[in-house]
Structure 1
Amino acid sequence: MPADPTAKRTPLHDVHVDLGAHLVDFAGYLMPLRYASETAEHRAVRTGAGLFDLSHMGEIFLTGPGAGDALDHALVGNLSPMQTGKARYTMLCAPDGGVLDDLIVYRLADESWMVVANAANADVVRDELVERTRGFDAAVDDRSSAYALVALQGPDAQGILARFTAAPLDDLKYYAVLADRVAGIDVLLARTGYTGEDGFELFADAGDAVRLWNELAAVDGVVPCGLAARDSLRLEAGMPLYGNELTAETTPFEAGLGRVVKLDKTVDFVGKGALAAQAQTPAGRRLVGLVARGRRAPRKGYAVVTSDGVPCGVVTSGAPSPTLGEPIAMAYLDTGVGESGLAVDVRGRAEPVDVVALPFYKRSSTTRP
């Protein structure tokens, strides 16, 4: 299928073309799905280091004396007590508790915050933040087009990055951020990622993207990686994907992420009433991990059925696991459904599955926990 001529290009588009990437339309952007073998790219991140272009993500800044309180009102997390240089995973929810997007919020200074949104939802997040921060002494500034985002992920990521910066990487803990120079380029350097491995995300001026990418990619062992590897990596790590495990019809509690909802914070927030009620009542479904006993992978949208063939859930994400060597999936099961005797309807054939705890993979381990 030809690419959508209206699709946006990231600042690294020409680099991907030169590398022979297979490009696809994703969230309104033309993005690399893979460069050669998605399995090889996946394994490079698990064993060495992979380099990703994530410049389609949204970067929305809130500044001003009331920015922290505004975020507390707009999002489900308790953001204002965060220390400068820290990051937090949180969500933007609708009044009924449905998830409009899952986000990472970085506190860059006393009165400066960066909200990183999924590409498909960046406009929604920006518009909701503008609306929800009315009455607060805070300004919302969407700088997505000004930024490029490059991720270096894998067990070798720190050693590689140390060649290009004098920053104390040993002291930069998980979910922390600092302003730094990498290869002589000004960046916001965050120890965050979406692969289940150690790694870093580097926010740079869009005009510096190609130079930053080329410097990192020139290191022996660094493998360019596309969206396919990113998806299989996050699936093994049990990380939700918006549009799959998270939607406007899904609440954080259904997704097993009720811990991010801070009902005890002093500021009233959008969706609090609905989420407080659900915190007291079991959700109608729950997110679980599935491992297929056969070789056929459950895929998004496939029905989970009981031993009698009665539908009792739906697969949200599924694929063969390069690390575990067997098909895995995440799925929602109806409340009250047991975890034995289940199968997935794979094109009319009931394929037996086992329910397992998430995540399927933990760092420095190649077996399920």
Structure 2
Amino acid sequence: MNKRTCLYERHCQAGALIQPFGGFDMPIQYTSIIDEHNAVRQHCGVFDVSHMGEVIVKGPDAEKYVNHIFTNDVTDAPIHKIYYGMMLYPDGGTVDDLLVYKMAPNHFFIVINAANIAKDDAWMREQAKDFDVTVDNKSDYYGQLAIQGPESSAVMEEVLQIPCSEFVFYTCKTLEIDGEEIIVSRTGYTGEDGFEIYGSTDFIVKQWDRLMASHRCVPCGLGCRDTLRFEVGLPLYGDELSKDISPVMAGLSMFCKMDKPEFIGKEALVDQKTNGVAQRLRGIELDDKAVPRHGYTVLKDGNPVGVVTTGYRLISVDKSCAVALVDSSLKLGDRVEIQIRRKTFPGTIVKKKFYDKHYHK
């Protein structure tokens, strides 16, 4: 049986379409994916992302331990700085992609993907055996809201009375509200300005109700969360990253700090960067309005050369696009085809970002 977030009843009352995702029953849409997508691009939308996992790492070896399991570099990180990166297997495959929050000296708050909570928790505990740290999975305690869009800062301040206009991109802070300590951050997974609120499940329900009563933002499901992140080239674990897709293959080497003394998977990534990889993720823009989907075959001159990881008719730019894992010999501008049911549709290899981000920096 799937888990449910603290807002499940609210989603049902609002008439949301509920479907399984990452082991949870989650809202996919309330009105339509197009309407919710456009609300985030133009105004403000709010997502229940309480299905995400949260792990707290503390102890004298916390920094050393996080640097060991994480591809990015948290050495002497400023307090309240946030880092994006991956945990890797020794062969370079991806355990998960995650956000690491530096909360205090030797104290890190780590956000992981919902479908990977049990796997990540076991992996992190196994790697912690040689370090003086505690690994505390707090996923059942925390709920999380994501307030996203160009009006998100005004909504945060005017509706929730949470000061945030001075927030720097990819930073966080702790606040005392209603007698509990909450975490607020400014990252986003939509390509728009946005904030995340982490707190107890009771606190999150109260904030959701305040937001809905204000009519300043619309509830958004995971359907438009996927279309939004895809347009701006952000990966989804299980599609663009997996145990079989390394950061090098995914074009995410910038988040792997090869000048660190060591991290799990570093040797494999060094080898991939030195000797190359057989496949890489590439963007594809179709000539036609046909819609490519996950798992569809990519062909070059009639021969299979890869497979689609994500594909949509893009809402913001009205084009049919895909990201696909294809032979690394394919370059920008090359012509390919995508098999969609019994027909093939021509397209061009392009960059994976189809729409420009509008982050507040």
Shorter-chain TM-score tier: over 0.9
Separation (CA, whole Å) in 1 of partners of 2:20 and 2:118: 18
Asked if structure 2 preserves the Cα contact closer than 8 Å seen for 1:74 and 1:132, the reply is yes
Pair 1:131 & 2:130 matched: no
Separation (CA, whole Å) in 1 of partners of 2:140 and 2:27: 18
Deviation at 1:282, TM superposition (A): 1.7
Deviation at 1:165, TM superposition (A): 5.8
Measured at CA, do residues 321 and 183 of structure 1 come closer, stay the same or move farther in structure 2, by a change above 3 Å?
Answer: farther
Secondary structure in 2 aligned to 1:229? helix
Deviation at 1:182, TM superposition (A): 6.1
Pair 1:327 & 2:320 matched: yes
Partner residue of 2:36? Answer: 41
Separation (CA, whole Å) in 1 of partners of 2:285 and 2:155: 34
Pair 1:239 & 2:234 matched: yes
Deviation at 1:169, TM superposition (A): 2.2
Secondary structure in 1 aligned to 2:249? coil
Separation (CA, whole Å) in 2 of partners of 1:167 and 1:204: 13
Partner residue of 2:18? Answer: 23
Asked if structure 2 preserves the Cα contact closer than 8 Å seen for 1:62 and 1:140, the reply is yes
Query: Structure 1 residue runs of 4+, over 3 Å off?
Result: 164-168, 181-186
Aligned counterpart in structure 2 of residue 226 of structure 1, from 221, 229, 232: 221
Pair 1:171 & 2:166 matched: yes
Partner residue of 1:192? Answer: 187
Asked if structure 2 preserves the Cα contact closer than 8 Å seen for 1:300 and 1:315, the reply is yes
Deviation at 1:181, TM superposition (A): 4.8
Pair 1:359 & 2:328 matched: no
Separation (CA, whole Å) in 1 of partners of 2:358 and 2:164: 19
Measured at CA, do residues 9 and 166 of structure 1 come closer, stay the same or move farther in structure 2, by a change above 3 Å?
Answer: closer
Partner residue of 1:296? Answer: 290
Aligned partner of 1:60: which letter? V
Partner residue of 2:70? Answer: 75
Separation (CA, whole Å) in 2 of partners of 1:16 and 1:186: 26
* Structure 2 spans left out of the alignment, 5+ residues: none
Separation (CA, whole Å) in 1 of partners of 2:358 and 2:199: 30
Measured at CA, do residues 197 and 7 of structure 1 come closer, stay the same or move farther in structure 2, by a change above 3 Å?
Answer: same
Separation (CA, whole Å) in 2 of partners of 1:293 and 1:158: 38
- Percent sequence identity is 37
Partner residue of 2:143? Answer: 148
Measured at CA, do residues 205 and 258 of structure 1 come closer, stay the same or move farther in structure 2, by a change above 3 Å?
Answer: same
Aligned counterpart in structure 1 of residue 97 of structure 2, from 93, 102, 105: 102
Deviations 1:44-88 (A, max 9, x none): 000000100000000000011211110111122212321110100
With structure 2 as the length reference, what TM-score do the two structures score?
0.95
Aligned counterpart in structure 1 of residue 212 of structure 2, from 180, 197, 217: 217
Aligned counterpart in structure 1 of residue 338 of structure 2, from 328, 336, 344: 344
Separation (CA, whole Å) in 2 of partners of 1:136 and 1:185: 30
